[in-house]
A and B are shown apart, each in its own frame.
Chain A
Amino acid sequence: MIFKGNVWKFGDNIDTDAIIPARYLNTSDPAQLARHCMEDADPDFVNKMKPGDIIVGGENFGCGSSREHAPIAIKAAGISCVVAKSFARIFYRNAFNMGLPIFESAALADAIAAGEEIAIDSAGGTITVSGSGRTFTISPIPPFMEELIADGGLMRHIAKNRK
Protein backbone atom coordinates (compact mmCIF):
# COMPACT_ATOMS: atom_id res chain seq x y z
CA MET A 1 0.00 0.00 0.00
CA ILE A 2 1.01 3.62 -0.52
CA PHE A 3 0.34 6.21 2.18
CA LYS A 4 0.83 9.80 1.08
CA GLY A 5 0.33 12.76 3.36
CA ASN A 6 1.73 15.74 5.19
CA VAL A 7 3.89 15.25 8.24
CA TRP A 8 3.07 16.28 11.81
CA LYS A 9 6.18 16.00 13.94
CA PHE A 10 6.41 15.00 17.59
CA GLY A 11 9.39 14.34 19.86
CA ASP A 12 10.59 11.37 21.91
CA ASN A 13 8.48 9.46 24.45
CA ILE A 14 5.07 10.64 23.26
CA ASP A 15 2.99 8.82 25.86
CA THR A 16 -0.57 7.55 25.68
CA ASP A 17 -1.70 10.26 28.11
CA ALA A 18 -0.61 12.81 25.51
CA ILE A 19 -2.24 10.88 22.65
CA ILE A 20 -5.55 10.50 24.47
CA PRO A 21 -5.74 11.83 28.05
CA ALA A 22 -7.34 9.56 30.66
CA ARG A 23 -10.07 12.12 31.28
CA TYR A 24 -11.65 11.06 27.98
CA LEU A 25 -11.47 7.31 28.60
CA ASN A 26 -15.02 7.06 29.89
CA THR A 27 -15.94 6.14 26.34
CA SER A 28 -14.48 3.90 23.65
CA ASP A 29 -16.45 5.55 20.84
CA PRO A 30 -13.88 6.24 18.07
CA ALA A 31 -15.57 9.48 16.93
CA GLN A 32 -15.50 10.95 20.44
CA LEU A 33 -11.92 9.84 21.06
CA ALA A 34 -10.82 11.32 17.72
CA ARG A 35 -11.85 14.79 18.89
CA HIS A 36 -9.12 14.71 21.56
CA CYS A 37 -6.36 13.05 19.56
CA MET A 38 -2.89 14.31 20.65
CA GLU A 39 -4.58 16.97 22.78
CA ASP A 40 -2.01 17.13 25.60
CA ALA A 41 0.90 17.23 23.14
CA ASP A 42 -0.70 19.83 20.83
CA PRO A 43 -4.11 21.14 21.97
CA ASP A 44 -5.02 22.34 18.46
CA PHE A 45 -3.90 19.22 16.60
CA VAL A 46 -7.28 17.89 15.47
CA ASN A 47 -8.26 21.27 14.04
CA LYS A 48 -5.05 21.64 12.06
CA MET A 49 -4.58 18.14 10.66
CA LYS A 50 -6.20 16.82 7.49
CA PRO A 51 -7.36 13.25 6.78
CA GLY A 52 -4.50 11.20 5.35
CA ASP A 53 -1.81 13.13 7.23
CA ILE A 54 1.04 11.23 8.84
CA ILE A 55 2.39 11.48 12.38
CA VAL A 56 6.18 11.23 12.73
CA GLY A 57 7.47 10.63 16.25
CA GLY A 58 10.80 10.04 17.95
CA GLU A 59 11.86 7.21 20.25
CA ASN A 60 9.39 5.13 22.28
CA PHE A 61 6.21 6.48 20.64
CA GLY A 62 3.07 5.43 22.50
CA CYS A 63 4.71 4.63 25.82
CA GLY A 64 2.68 4.40 28.99
CA SER A 65 -0.67 2.74 29.33
CA SER A 66 -2.11 -0.16 27.37
CA ARG A 67 -5.12 1.87 26.25
CA GLU A 68 -6.15 0.85 22.75
CA HIS A 69 -7.98 4.17 22.78
CA ALA A 70 -4.65 5.70 21.67
CA PRO A 71 -4.35 4.02 18.25
CA ILE A 72 -8.15 4.20 17.94
CA ALA A 73 -8.06 7.99 18.44
CA ILE A 74 -5.26 8.38 15.89
CA LYS A 75 -6.98 6.17 13.33
CA ALA A 76 -10.41 7.73 13.85
CA ALA A 77 -8.96 11.24 13.55
CA GLY A 78 -7.98 10.28 10.00
CA ILE A 79 -4.22 9.90 10.41
CA SER A 80 -3.20 7.34 7.79
CA CYS A 81 -0.14 5.95 9.57
CA VAL A 82 2.55 6.67 12.13
CA VAL A 83 6.31 6.63 11.56
CA ALA A 84 8.64 6.75 14.58
CA LYS A 85 12.20 5.98 15.57
CA SER A 86 10.83 3.28 17.84
CA PHE A 87 7.49 2.31 19.33
CA ALA A 88 6.56 1.32 22.86
CA ARG A 89 5.76 -2.38 23.02
CA ILE A 90 2.05 -2.36 23.81
CA PHE A 91 1.32 0.44 21.34
CA TYR A 92 3.12 -1.62 18.68
CA ARG A 93 0.93 -4.67 19.44
CA ASN A 94 -2.23 -2.63 19.56
CA ALA A 95 -1.55 -0.92 16.25
CA PHE A 96 -1.07 -4.24 14.42
CA ASN A 97 -3.95 -5.92 16.25
CA MET A 98 -6.36 -3.21 15.16
CA GLY A 99 -4.88 -2.38 11.77
CA LEU A 100 -3.22 1.04 12.19
CA PRO A 101 -0.13 0.92 9.96
CA ILE A 102 3.07 1.92 11.75
CA PHE A 103 6.65 2.04 10.50
CA GLU A 104 10.06 2.46 12.12
CA SER A 105 12.61 4.81 10.55
CA ALA A 106 15.00 6.77 12.73
CA ALA A 107 16.65 8.37 9.69
CA LEU A 108 13.39 9.79 8.37
CA ALA A 109 12.35 11.06 11.80
CA ASP A 110 15.65 12.98 12.00
CA ALA A 111 15.58 14.31 8.45
CA ILE A 112 11.95 15.31 7.97
CA ALA A 113 10.41 18.69 8.83
CA ALA A 114 6.82 19.34 9.84
CA GLY A 115 4.54 20.04 6.89
CA GLU A 116 6.62 18.15 4.32
CA GLU A 117 4.81 15.60 2.21
CA ILE A 118 5.98 11.99 2.26
CA ALA A 119 4.87 8.82 0.48
CA ILE A 120 5.26 5.47 2.20
CA ASP A 121 5.40 2.32 0.11
CA SER A 122 4.81 -0.43 2.65
CA ALA A 123 5.40 -3.29 0.23
CA GLY A 124 8.52 -1.74 -1.26
CA GLY A 125 9.83 -0.80 2.15
CA THR A 126 10.59 2.83 1.31
CA ILE A 127 9.57 6.33 2.30
CA THR A 128 10.03 9.10 -0.25
CA VAL A 129 10.01 12.80 0.57
CA SER A 130 7.94 14.45 -2.17
CA GLY A 131 9.87 17.75 -2.32
CA SER A 132 13.47 16.50 -2.31
CA GLY A 133 12.89 13.01 -3.65
CA ARG A 134 15.05 11.65 -0.82
CA THR A 135 14.32 8.02 0.02
CA PHE A 136 14.51 6.16 3.30
CA THR A 137 14.15 2.46 3.96
CA ILE A 138 11.77 1.13 6.58
CA SER A 139 12.30 -2.01 8.63
CA PRO A 140 10.40 -4.93 7.11
CA ILE A 141 7.27 -6.11 8.94
CA PRO A 142 7.58 -9.71 10.25
CA PRO A 143 5.53 -12.15 8.11
CA PHE A 144 3.17 -12.96 10.99
CA MET A 145 2.30 -9.26 11.33
CA GLU A 146 1.74 -9.00 7.59
CA GLU A 147 -0.72 -11.85 7.91
CA LEU A 148 -2.53 -9.98 10.71
CA ILE A 149 -2.82 -6.85 8.59
CA ALA A 150 -3.90 -8.82 5.52
CA ASP A 151 -6.63 -10.52 7.56
CA GLY A 152 -7.78 -7.15 8.91
CA GLY A 153 -6.48 -7.41 12.46
CA LEU A 154 -6.08 -10.05 15.16
CA MET A 155 -9.72 -10.91 15.76
CA ARG A 156 -10.49 -11.41 12.07
CA HIS A 157 -7.34 -13.49 11.81
CA ILE A 158 -8.54 -15.67 14.69
CA ALA A 159 -12.10 -15.91 13.38
CA LYS A 160 -10.74 -17.01 10.00
CA ASN A 161 -8.53 -19.71 11.52
CA ARG A 162 -11.25 -21.04 13.82
CA LYS A 163 -13.63 -21.83 10.97
Chain B
Amino acid sequence: MGYTITEKILMAHTDLKDIAPGQLINARVDIALGNDITAPIAIREFRAAGGKEVFDRDRVALVLDHFTPNKDINSAQQCKTVREFAFEHGITHFYEGGQVGVEHALLPEKGIVLPGDLVIGADSHTCTYGALGAFATGVGSTDLAAAMLTGELWFKVPQSIKFVIYGKLQKWVSGKDLILNIIGRIGVDGALYQAMEFTGETVAALPMADRLSMANMAIEAGAKNGIFPPDAVTEEYVSPRAGRPYTLYASDPDAVYAKTIEIDAGALEPQVAFPHLPSNVRGVSEAGRVKIDQSLIGSCTNGRIEDLRIAAGILKNRKASPSVRLIVVPATPLIYRQAMHEGLLDIFMDANAVISPPSCGACLGGHLGILADGETSIATTNRNFVGRMGHPNSEVYLASPAVAAASAVLGRIASPEEL
Protein backbone atom coordinates (compact mmCIF):
# COMPACT_ATOMS: atom_id res chain seq x y z
CA MET B 1 0.00 0.00 0.00
CA GLY B 2 1.39 3.40 -0.96
CA TYR B 3 1.78 6.64 0.96
CA THR B 4 0.51 10.15 0.43
CA ILE B 5 3.03 13.00 0.20
CA THR B 6 2.03 14.08 3.71
CA GLU B 7 2.67 10.60 5.11
CA LYS B 8 6.01 10.37 3.29
CA ILE B 9 7.32 13.67 4.64
CA LEU B 10 6.23 12.83 8.19
CA MET B 11 7.80 9.36 7.98
CA ALA B 12 11.06 10.79 6.61
CA HIS B 13 11.33 12.84 9.81
CA THR B 14 11.15 9.79 12.07
CA ASP B 15 13.04 6.50 12.25
CA LEU B 16 9.86 4.58 11.47
CA LYS B 17 9.64 2.12 8.58
CA ASP B 18 5.89 2.46 8.23
CA ILE B 19 3.29 5.04 9.12
CA ALA B 20 -0.50 5.16 9.13
CA PRO B 21 -3.17 7.80 9.67
CA GLY B 22 -4.19 8.13 13.32
CA GLN B 23 -0.75 7.10 14.58
CA LEU B 24 0.89 9.37 17.16
CA ILE B 25 4.51 10.01 16.23
CA ASN B 26 7.44 12.05 17.41
CA ALA B 27 9.08 13.75 14.43
CA ARG B 28 12.10 15.95 13.78
CA VAL B 29 11.32 19.55 12.91
CA ASP B 30 13.20 21.42 10.15
CA ILE B 31 11.96 24.93 10.93
CA ALA B 32 10.13 26.23 14.02
CA LEU B 33 8.45 29.64 13.70
CA GLY B 34 7.10 32.15 16.18
CA ASN B 35 5.90 35.76 16.06
CA ASP B 36 5.57 38.70 18.45
CA ILE B 37 2.25 37.36 19.82
CA THR B 38 3.03 33.67 20.18
CA ALA B 39 6.79 33.61 20.82
CA PRO B 40 6.71 35.42 24.19
CA ILE B 41 4.65 32.58 25.70
CA ALA B 42 6.96 30.00 24.06
CA ILE B 43 10.02 31.75 25.48
CA ARG B 44 8.45 31.77 28.95
CA GLU B 45 7.77 28.03 28.66
CA PHE B 46 11.23 27.36 27.21
CA ARG B 47 12.86 29.07 30.18
CA ALA B 48 10.53 27.46 32.71
CA ALA B 49 11.56 24.03 31.42
CA GLY B 50 15.18 24.95 32.06
CA GLY B 51 15.99 25.56 28.38
CA LYS B 52 19.52 26.89 27.93
CA GLU B 53 20.02 26.54 24.18
CA VAL B 54 17.77 26.18 21.17
CA PHE B 55 18.20 22.89 19.29
CA ASP B 56 19.63 24.67 16.23
CA ARG B 57 19.90 28.43 15.87
CA ASP B 58 19.55 28.15 12.06
CA ARG B 59 16.25 26.29 12.39
CA VAL B 60 14.27 28.75 14.49
CA ALA B 61 12.56 31.71 12.81
CA LEU B 62 11.28 34.64 14.89
CA VAL B 63 9.31 37.26 12.99
CA LEU B 64 7.96 40.40 14.68
CA ASP B 65 5.11 41.14 12.28
CA HIS B 66 1.80 41.30 14.13
CA PHE B 67 1.62 44.43 16.28
CA THR B 68 4.57 46.09 14.56
CA PRO B 69 5.69 48.80 14.10
CA ASN B 70 4.95 48.55 17.82
CA LYS B 71 1.40 49.76 18.32
CA ASP B 72 1.58 50.35 22.08
CA ILE B 73 3.71 49.78 25.14
CA ASN B 74 2.57 46.22 25.75
CA SER B 75 3.34 45.28 22.13
CA ALA B 76 6.76 46.88 22.45
CA GLN B 77 7.38 44.77 25.57
CA GLN B 78 6.43 41.60 23.72
CA CYS B 79 8.83 42.44 20.89
CA LYS B 80 11.56 43.22 23.41
CA THR B 81 11.15 39.79 24.98
CA VAL B 82 11.55 38.09 21.61
CA ARG B 83 14.42 40.35 20.47
CA GLU B 84 16.43 39.68 23.62
CA PHE B 85 15.86 35.95 23.27
CA ALA B 86 16.87 36.06 19.58
CA PHE B 87 20.12 37.89 20.33
CA GLU B 88 20.90 35.74 23.37
CA HIS B 89 20.55 32.57 21.31
CA GLY B 90 22.02 33.93 18.09
CA ILE B 91 18.86 33.12 16.11
CA THR B 92 19.78 33.35 12.42
CA HIS B 93 16.30 34.03 11.10
CA PHE B 94 15.19 36.91 13.30
CA TYR B 95 13.31 39.70 11.52
CA GLU B 96 12.06 43.08 12.66
CA GLY B 97 12.07 46.73 11.65
CA GLY B 98 12.90 47.33 8.01
CA GLN B 99 13.62 43.63 7.43
CA VAL B 100 10.32 42.29 8.65
CA GLY B 101 7.58 41.01 6.41
CA VAL B 102 4.42 39.07 7.08
CA GLU B 103 5.90 35.75 8.20
CA HIS B 104 4.20 33.44 5.71
CA ALA B 105 5.21 35.63 2.78
CA LEU B 106 8.70 36.19 4.17
CA LEU B 107 9.82 32.60 4.89
CA PRO B 108 9.17 31.20 1.39
CA GLU B 109 10.58 34.35 -0.22
CA LYS B 110 13.85 33.99 1.67
CA GLY B 111 14.13 30.26 1.00
CA ILE B 112 13.95 29.50 4.74
CA VAL B 113 11.23 26.87 4.18
CA LEU B 114 11.78 24.33 1.41
CA PRO B 115 10.08 21.34 -0.25
CA GLY B 116 10.07 18.18 1.85
CA ASP B 117 10.53 20.15 5.08
CA LEU B 118 8.60 19.53 8.27
CA VAL B 119 7.70 23.02 9.48
CA ILE B 120 5.83 23.97 12.63
CA GLY B 121 4.81 27.49 13.47
CA ALA B 122 3.02 29.05 16.39
CA ASP B 123 0.67 30.67 13.91
CA SER B 124 -2.25 28.92 12.30
CA HIS B 125 -1.39 30.00 8.75
CA THR B 126 1.92 28.13 8.87
CA CYS B 127 0.10 25.72 6.54
CA THR B 128 0.98 28.19 3.73
CA TYR B 129 4.27 26.39 3.05
CA GLY B 130 2.43 23.33 1.81
CA ALA B 131 2.44 25.22 -1.49
CA LEU B 132 6.13 24.31 -1.76
CA GLY B 133 5.52 20.61 -1.13
CA ALA B 134 6.43 20.83 2.55
CA PHE B 135 4.49 19.48 5.53
CA ALA B 136 3.70 22.66 7.45
CA THR B 137 1.24 23.07 10.27
CA GLY B 138 0.19 25.59 12.87
CA VAL B 139 0.68 24.75 16.54
CA GLY B 140 0.53 26.55 19.87
CA SER B 141 3.19 28.38 21.82
CA THR B 142 3.93 25.44 24.08
CA ASP B 143 4.55 23.31 21.00
CA LEU B 144 6.94 25.96 19.72
CA ALA B 145 8.76 25.91 23.07
CA ALA B 146 9.10 22.13 22.88
CA ALA B 147 10.37 22.24 19.29
CA MET B 148 12.87 25.03 20.05
CA LEU B 149 14.18 22.96 22.94
CA THR B 150 14.26 19.46 21.47
CA GLY B 151 13.97 19.85 17.67
CA GLU B 152 11.10 17.39 17.82
CA LEU B 153 7.35 17.44 18.30
CA TRP B 154 4.41 15.05 18.60
CA PHE B 155 2.02 14.68 15.70
CA LYS B 156 -0.99 12.61 14.86
CA VAL B 157 -0.61 11.39 11.28
CA PRO B 158 -3.58 12.88 9.38
CA GLN B 159 -5.76 11.22 6.78
CA SER B 160 -5.67 13.03 3.46
CA ILE B 161 -8.42 14.39 1.26
CA LYS B 162 -7.46 14.56 -2.40
CA PHE B 163 -8.81 17.45 -4.44
CA VAL B 164 -8.67 16.95 -8.19
CA ILE B 165 -9.24 20.30 -9.85
CA TYR B 166 -9.67 20.61 -13.60
CA GLY B 167 -10.80 23.21 -16.15
CA LYS B 168 -9.19 26.45 -17.31
CA LEU B 169 -9.75 29.37 -14.95
CA GLN B 170 -11.71 32.33 -16.29
CA LYS B 171 -10.22 35.81 -16.35
CA TRP B 172 -10.10 37.37 -12.83
CA VAL B 173 -10.38 33.95 -11.19
CA SER B 174 -7.40 33.07 -9.00
CA GLY B 175 -6.19 30.56 -6.45
CA LYS B 176 -7.99 32.65 -3.81
CA ASP B 177 -11.31 32.06 -5.56
CA LEU B 178 -10.59 28.34 -5.82
CA ILE B 179 -9.86 27.96 -2.13
CA LEU B 180 -12.85 30.09 -1.10
CA ASN B 181 -15.03 27.91 -3.31
CA ILE B 182 -13.58 24.75 -1.76
CA ILE B 183 -14.15 26.02 1.79
CA GLY B 184 -17.68 26.96 0.77
CA ARG B 185 -18.25 23.40 -0.40
CA ILE B 186 -16.78 21.49 2.53
CA GLY B 187 -17.31 23.96 5.40
CA VAL B 188 -15.01 25.36 8.08
CA ASP B 189 -14.61 21.90 9.61
CA GLY B 190 -14.76 20.01 6.31
CA ALA B 191 -11.15 18.86 6.63
CA LEU B 192 -10.83 18.80 10.42
CA TYR B 193 -7.60 17.01 11.51
CA GLN B 194 -6.97 16.09 7.84
CA ALA B 195 -4.51 16.97 5.08
CA MET B 196 -5.82 18.69 1.95
CA GLU B 197 -3.86 17.58 -1.09
CA PHE B 198 -4.41 19.73 -4.18
CA THR B 199 -3.92 18.06 -7.56
CA GLY B 200 -5.23 18.16 -11.12
CA GLU B 201 -4.56 20.07 -14.32
CA THR B 202 -5.76 23.42 -12.94
CA VAL B 203 -3.39 23.10 -10.01
CA ALA B 204 -0.47 22.11 -12.25
CA ALA B 205 -0.99 25.33 -14.21
CA LEU B 206 -1.21 27.53 -11.09
CA PRO B 207 1.63 29.99 -10.38
CA MET B 208 3.34 29.75 -6.98
CA ALA B 209 1.61 32.90 -5.65
CA ASP B 210 -1.80 31.27 -6.16
CA ARG B 211 -0.67 28.02 -4.58
CA LEU B 212 0.56 29.94 -1.53
CA SER B 213 -2.86 31.66 -1.21
CA MET B 214 -4.62 28.31 -1.38
CA ALA B 215 -2.43 26.41 1.07
CA ASN B 216 -2.67 29.45 3.37
CA MET B 217 -6.40 28.92 3.83
CA ALA B 218 -6.35 25.14 4.41
CA ILE B 219 -6.72 25.93 8.13
CA GLU B 220 -9.98 27.73 7.32
CA ALA B 221 -11.41 24.29 6.47
CA GLY B 222 -10.01 22.97 9.76
CA ALA B 223 -7.18 21.12 8.00
CA LYS B 224 -3.91 20.19 9.62
CA ASN B 225 -2.05 21.01 6.42
CA GLY B 226 -2.60 21.79 2.77
CA ILE B 227 -0.11 20.44 0.27
CA PHE B 228 0.76 20.72 -3.43
CA PRO B 229 2.86 18.09 -5.21
CA PRO B 230 6.11 19.86 -6.07
CA ASP B 231 6.74 20.27 -9.81
CA ALA B 232 8.59 22.49 -12.28
CA VAL B 233 6.79 25.59 -10.93
CA THR B 234 8.03 24.70 -7.44
CA GLU B 235 11.59 24.14 -8.60
CA GLU B 236 11.63 27.42 -10.47
CA TYR B 237 10.51 29.26 -7.33
CA VAL B 238 12.70 27.40 -4.86
CA SER B 239 16.02 26.72 -6.59
CA PRO B 240 17.31 30.34 -6.68
CA ARG B 241 16.39 30.81 -3.00
CA ALA B 242 17.41 27.56 -1.33
CA GLY B 243 20.50 27.66 0.84
CA ARG B 244 20.35 23.98 1.75
CA PRO B 245 19.33 20.73 0.06
CA TYR B 246 15.67 19.88 -0.26
CA THR B 247 13.61 16.86 -1.30
CA LEU B 248 10.67 16.61 -3.67
CA TYR B 249 8.12 14.03 -2.56
CA ALA B 250 5.16 12.71 -4.51
CA SER B 251 2.14 10.66 -3.44
CA ASP B 252 2.20 7.03 -4.56
CA PRO B 253 -0.41 6.05 -7.15
CA ASP B 254 -1.89 3.58 -4.64
CA ALA B 255 -1.89 5.99 -1.70
CA VAL B 256 -5.03 5.84 0.43
CA TYR B 257 -7.31 8.87 0.82
CA ALA B 258 -10.22 9.52 3.16
CA LYS B 259 -12.00 10.81 0.09
CA THR B 260 -11.45 12.35 -3.32
CA ILE B 261 -13.28 15.51 -4.34
CA GLU B 262 -13.38 16.51 -8.01
CA ILE B 263 -13.95 20.13 -8.92
CA ASP B 264 -14.63 21.57 -12.36
CA ALA B 265 -13.19 25.07 -12.01
CA GLY B 266 -13.76 26.10 -15.60
CA ALA B 267 -17.06 27.87 -14.93
CA LEU B 268 -16.07 29.41 -11.61
CA GLU B 269 -16.53 33.18 -11.16
CA PRO B 270 -14.72 35.31 -8.54
CA GLN B 271 -15.86 34.31 -5.05
CA VAL B 272 -16.76 36.31 -1.95
CA ALA B 273 -16.98 34.97 1.63
CA PHE B 274 -19.72 36.77 3.54
CA PRO B 275 -19.56 37.47 7.29
CA HIS B 276 -18.84 35.76 9.62
CA LEU B 277 -17.34 32.53 8.30
CA PRO B 278 -14.86 31.85 5.50
CA SER B 279 -17.28 29.12 4.32
CA ASN B 280 -20.12 31.58 3.74
CA VAL B 281 -19.19 31.84 0.08
CA ARG B 282 -21.09 33.12 -2.98
CA GLY B 283 -20.14 34.07 -6.51
CA VAL B 284 -19.51 37.81 -6.85
CA SER B 285 -22.48 38.12 -9.22
CA GLU B 286 -24.73 36.95 -6.37
CA ALA B 287 -23.29 39.34 -3.80
CA GLY B 288 -26.06 41.92 -4.19
CA ARG B 289 -25.37 45.55 -3.28
CA VAL B 290 -23.01 45.54 -0.33
CA LYS B 291 -21.64 48.99 0.46
CA ILE B 292 -18.11 49.01 1.86
CA ASP B 293 -16.18 51.46 4.02
CA GLN B 294 -12.75 49.90 3.58
CA SER B 295 -10.85 47.73 1.12
CA LEU B 296 -7.76 45.95 2.41
CA ILE B 297 -5.33 44.47 -0.08
CA GLY B 298 -2.56 42.56 1.64
CA SER B 299 -1.83 39.82 4.23
CA CYS B 300 -0.13 36.44 4.04
CA THR B 301 -2.96 35.31 1.76
CA ASN B 302 -2.76 38.00 -0.91
CA GLY B 303 -0.03 40.56 -0.26
CA ARG B 304 2.47 39.27 -2.82
CA ILE B 305 3.78 41.18 -5.81
CA GLU B 306 1.49 39.23 -8.16
CA ASP B 307 -1.50 40.35 -6.06
CA LEU B 308 -0.37 43.97 -6.08
CA ARG B 309 0.10 43.86 -9.86
CA ILE B 310 -3.47 42.63 -10.34
CA ALA B 311 -4.83 45.33 -8.02
CA ALA B 312 -2.74 48.03 -9.71
CA GLY B 313 -3.93 46.89 -13.14
CA ILE B 314 -7.47 47.61 -12.03
CA LEU B 315 -6.75 50.80 -10.08
CA LYS B 316 -4.64 52.42 -12.80
CA ASN B 317 -6.19 55.76 -13.85
CA ARG B 318 -8.99 55.19 -11.36
CA LYS B 319 -9.64 56.38 -7.83
CA ALA B 320 -11.03 54.70 -4.77
CA SER B 321 -14.57 55.83 -4.09
CA PRO B 322 -14.51 58.83 -1.70
CA SER B 323 -16.43 56.75 0.83
CA VAL B 324 -13.83 53.95 0.83
CA ARG B 325 -10.53 53.81 2.70
CA LEU B 326 -8.23 51.77 0.48
CA ILE B 327 -5.30 50.19 2.32
CA VAL B 328 -2.52 48.36 0.48
CA VAL B 329 -0.06 46.26 2.47
CA PRO B 330 2.94 44.89 0.57
CA ALA B 331 3.68 41.73 2.55
CA THR B 332 7.49 42.00 2.65
CA PRO B 333 10.17 44.66 2.16
CA LEU B 334 11.20 43.00 -1.12
CA ILE B 335 7.62 43.16 -2.40
CA TYR B 336 7.41 46.79 -1.26
CA ARG B 337 10.56 47.64 -3.18
CA GLN B 338 9.45 45.72 -6.27
CA ALA B 339 6.10 47.53 -6.19
CA MET B 340 7.97 50.81 -5.91
CA HIS B 341 10.25 50.05 -8.87
CA GLU B 342 7.39 48.84 -11.02
CA GLY B 343 5.46 52.04 -10.36
CA LEU B 344 2.66 50.22 -8.54
CA LEU B 345 2.95 52.45 -5.49
CA ASP B 346 2.34 55.50 -7.68
CA ILE B 347 -0.79 53.88 -9.05
CA PHE B 348 -2.01 53.11 -5.52
CA MET B 349 -1.25 56.63 -4.29
CA ASP B 350 -2.96 58.15 -7.32
CA ALA B 351 -5.98 56.03 -6.40
CA ASN B 352 -5.84 57.62 -2.91
CA ALA B 353 -4.71 54.43 -1.18
CA VAL B 354 -2.82 54.35 2.09
CA ILE B 355 0.29 52.19 1.72
CA SER B 356 1.03 50.40 4.96
CA PRO B 357 4.40 49.03 5.98
CA PRO B 358 4.60 45.24 5.84
CA SER B 359 2.58 44.21 8.92
CA CYS B 360 -0.24 41.93 10.04
CA GLY B 361 -1.85 44.93 11.75
CA ALA B 362 -5.11 45.42 9.90
CA CYS B 363 -5.67 41.74 9.05
CA LEU B 364 -6.16 40.70 12.65
CA GLY B 365 -7.75 43.91 13.85
CA GLY B 366 -4.59 44.88 15.68
CA HIS B 367 -3.88 48.34 14.28
CA LEU B 368 -3.31 50.21 10.99
CA GLY B 369 -6.86 49.82 9.71
CA ILE B 370 -9.42 49.04 12.42
CA LEU B 371 -13.16 49.07 11.67
CA ALA B 372 -15.67 51.09 13.70
CA ASP B 373 -19.12 49.99 14.90
CA GLY B 374 -21.25 49.01 11.90
CA GLU B 375 -18.48 49.36 9.31
CA THR B 376 -17.80 46.94 6.48
CA SER B 377 -14.55 45.96 4.82
CA ILE B 378 -13.73 43.85 1.83
CA ALA B 379 -10.37 42.21 2.43
CA THR B 380 -7.98 39.89 0.64
CA THR B 381 -7.23 38.27 4.00
CA ASN B 382 -8.32 34.85 5.22
CA ARG B 383 -10.70 35.32 8.19
CA ASN B 384 -13.97 37.17 8.60
CA PHE B 385 -14.94 36.10 12.12
CA VAL B 386 -16.93 38.44 14.37
CA GLY B 387 -14.69 41.33 15.39
CA ARG B 388 -11.76 40.09 13.29
CA MET B 389 -10.86 43.54 11.97
CA GLY B 390 -12.18 45.72 14.75
CA HIS B 391 -15.52 46.43 16.42
CA PRO B 392 -17.63 43.33 17.16
CA ASN B 393 -20.40 44.89 15.02
CA SER B 394 -18.15 45.39 11.99
CA GLU B 395 -18.20 43.04 9.03
CA VAL B 396 -15.51 41.53 6.80
CA TYR B 397 -16.00 40.09 3.32
CA LEU B 398 -13.15 37.99 1.90
CA ALA B 399 -12.20 38.11 -1.77
CA SER B 400 -9.34 38.25 -4.25
CA PRO B 401 -7.20 41.35 -4.94
CA ALA B 402 -9.12 41.86 -8.21
CA VAL B 403 -12.48 42.00 -6.46
CA ALA B 404 -11.12 44.10 -3.57
CA ALA B 405 -9.68 46.64 -6.04
CA ALA B 406 -12.84 46.83 -8.14
CA SER B 407 -14.94 47.17 -4.97
CA ALA B 408 -12.75 50.02 -3.74
CA VAL B 409 -13.47 51.95 -6.94
CA LEU B 410 -17.22 51.34 -6.95
CA GLY B 411 -17.74 51.67 -3.19
CA ARG B 412 -19.56 48.35 -3.05
CA ILE B 413 -18.67 44.71 -3.59
CA ALA B 414 -18.11 44.38 -7.31
CA SER B 415 -16.51 42.27 -10.00
CA PRO B 416 -13.74 43.83 -12.11
CA GLU B 417 -16.04 43.13 -15.07
CA GLU B 418 -18.27 45.97 -13.89
CA LEU B 419 -15.63 48.64 -14.42
Contacts and interface: CB of A to CB of B under 8 A. Distances in A.
A22 B366 CA distance: 6
Contact of A26 (B67, B123, B140, B146): B67
A93 B140 contact: yes
Contacts of A15: 383, 385-386
Interface stretch (A46-54, A118-126, A154-162): A154-162
Interface in A14-62: 15, 17-18, 21-23, 25-28, 40-41, 43, 59-60
A135 interface: no
Interface in B141-198: 141-143, 145-146, 149-150, 154, 188-189, 192-193
B145 A155 contact: yes
Given A28-B40, A64-B385, 5 more contacts: A40-B386, A63-B188, A88-B192, A98-B142, A154-B154
Interface string B292-324: 000000000000000000000000000000000
Contact of B222 (A40, A63, A142): A63
Interface centre among B122, B189, B364 (most CB of A within 10 A): B189
Given A26-B78, A144-B24, A67 B67 contact: no
24 contacts: A15-B385, A15-B386, A17-B383, A21-B387, A22-B388, A26-B67, A28-B41, A40-B386, A43-B392, A63-B188, A65-B383, A66-B139, A66-B140, A68-B141, A86-B189, A86-B192, A88-B222, A90-B140, A93-B140, A97-B146, A154-B154, A155-B146, A158-B149, A159-B49
Given A17-B387, A65-B123, A22 B365 contact: yes
Contacts of A80: none
Interface in B261-280: 277
A86 B383 CA distance: 20
Interface residues of A, number: 41
Contact of B392 (A40, A65, A86, A144): A40
A155 B48 contact: yes
Contacts of B123: 65-66
Nearest to A161: B150
B142 A66 contact: no
Contacts of B41: 28, 68-69, 72
B130 interface: no
Contacts of A28: 40-41, 44, 78
Contacts of A5: none
A86 B138 CA distance: 18
A144 B154 contact: yes
Contacts of B40: 28
A27 B385 contact: no
Interface residues of B, number: 50
Contact of B192 (A27, A67, A89): A89
Interface of A: 13, 15, 17-18, 21-23, 25-28, 40-41, 43, 59-60, 63-69, 72, 86, 88-90, 93-94, 97-98, 142, 144, 153-156, 158-159, 162
B189 A60 contact: yes
A18 B387 contact: yes
Contacts of A94: 140-143
A27 B193 CA distance: 29
> Nearest 5 pairs between A and B by C-beta?
A94-B140, A26-B74, A97-B142, A60-B189, A155-B49
A22 B364 contact: yes
